[in-house]
Amino acid sequence: MHTEPNQPSGNAHWRIGVIGGSGIYDLSGLEDVQDIAVQSPFGAPSGPVTLGRIGAVEFVFLARHGAGHRIPPEGINHRANIDVMKRCGVTDLIAISAIGSLREELAPGSFVAVDQFIDRTHGRADSFFGEGLVAHVSLADPVCARLSAHLADAAQAAGARVHRGGCYLAMQGPQFSTRAESRLYRQWGADVIGMTAMPEARLAREAELPYALIGMVTDYDAWREGDHVDVAQVLQVMRGNAALAKATIGQLAARLPQVRTPSPIDHALDGAIMTAPAHRDPVLVARLGAVAGRALRNEG
Ligand SMILES: CSC[C@H]1O[C@H](OP(=O)(O)O)[C@H](O)[C@@H]1O
Ligand SMILES: Nc1ncnc2[nH]cnc12
């Protein structure tokens, strides 16, 4: 099926997008479940989305690496994934990721509510905008503090050990870091490491979606003498933590305020578009219908 679900009326109602990373290929506890394939002008998303609700809160789930984890970090079409979330009327976007720890105190098994990023990825399509429609959004605070606090509270209520705040180093992969890189990233002030949150977080902001990332620490990367991450280690910790991540989503649904008050991120594109109307590329403008339609319609 290639339909788009109805948009929520206004934004007073939460419709939470969830992008599940390694080990999180579905959500549990959803009611009225429907799988739909949504098309995007930015190409193929990672797969169909699953729509459902837990109580009054609606969810739209997408597995970042696709069914069976077939898409590598550098092959993820983040633009299509975020565009599809917008087309599904998502109001806020949660990312769940496996992450390596660059700090002794962030032990495997614990969760980190990430609030900053250093981006070392390259060659990934990292903006919806470009020639014919130029825009510059602020990324100073790339995570929505409100959503991140709700998510951290929910993870804690589900029984997770949660660290609030942390800087995520987005590496290119798919190989894990060298020891020298891992130690360098510690010196840079990074706390955790992964391969997927960029450009996902950038694109969420361009699409005016409040974004929060909860990372599940699976390993100590490669900075400790005599120890280095491998997939077996990641999978072993994830097997223990996937249920906790899913329970976090259930707790979030139970704890979110009934009414979603507006977020400044809902208007992140206001004042960000530089290109004069007469110089805009109509093809790009049309592609950006879901991402920037609100901002383009409301220009004064
Ligand atoms: C299986 S370890 C490497 C893999 O796991 C993380 O993915 P995600 O953020 O989608 O959970 C990491 O970024 C790598 O892609
Ligand atoms: N050490 C690590 N480096 C990059 N991505 C990861 N995902 C989980 N652990 C990781």
For residues 227-257, b (16+ Cβ closer than 10 Å) or e, as one string? ebbeeebbeebbeebbebbbbbbbbbbeebe
* Fold observed for domain 15-299: Rossmann fold (3.40.50)
pLDDT score of 7: 56
Q: What pLDDT, in 10s, does the model give residues 10-19?
A: 558 999 999 9
CA of 196 to the centre of ligand 2 (A): 10
Mutate to test the pocket of ligand 1, among 196, 214, 231, 233 (most ligand atoms within 8 A of CB): 196
Given the structure tokens 């002030």, which residue do they identify? 189
What is the rounded CA–CA span in Å between residue 153 and residue 15? 18
266 annotated ligand-binding residue = no
Distance of CA 284 to the CA centre of its chain: 24
How far is the C-alpha of 281 from the C-alpha of 131, rounded, in Å? Answer: 8
Q: What is the pLDDT of residue 295?
A: 96
Mean pLDDT by 10 residues, the chain (300 residues): 52 92 93 96 98 96 96 98 98 98 97 98 98 98 98 97 98 98 98 98 98 97 93 91 94 95 97 96 97 91
Give, using CA atoms, the residue closest to atom 5 of ligand 2: 194
What pLDDT does residue 2 have? 45
181-196 tens-digit pLDDT: 999 999 999 999 999 9
Angle at 230 between CA 225 and CA 231, to 5 degrees: 160
Query: What is the Cα–Cα distance from 246 to 255, expressed in whole angstroms?
Result: 15
- Ligand 2 neighbourhood includes 194 CB (under 6 angstroms): yes
Is 127 annotated for ligand binding? Answer: no
Supply φ then ψ for residue 125, to 5 degrees. Answer: -70, 110
From the CA of 213, which ligand is nearest?
1
Residue 240: its pLDDT value, please?
A: 85
Kindly provide the ipTM of the predicted complex, given to two decimals. Answer: 0.99
Is residue 168 marked as binding?
A: no
For the question of whether the overall pTM of this predicted structure is more than 0.90, the answer is yes
For the CA of 100, the nearest ligand: 2
Burial class (CB in 10 A: 0-12, 13-18, 19+), 189: exposed
Catalytic positions are: 219, 221
Listed by start position, the domains of the chain span 15-299
Helix (H, G, I), strand (E, B) or coil at 98: strand
Confidence (pLDDT) at 148: 98
Task: List, for residues 43-99, the tens digit of each pLDDT value.
Answer: 999 999 999 999 999 999 999 999 999 999 999 999 999 999 999 999 999 999 999
Which residue has its alpha carbon closest to ligand 2 atom 7? 99
Q: Which atom of ligand 1 is nearest to the CA of 22?
A: 11
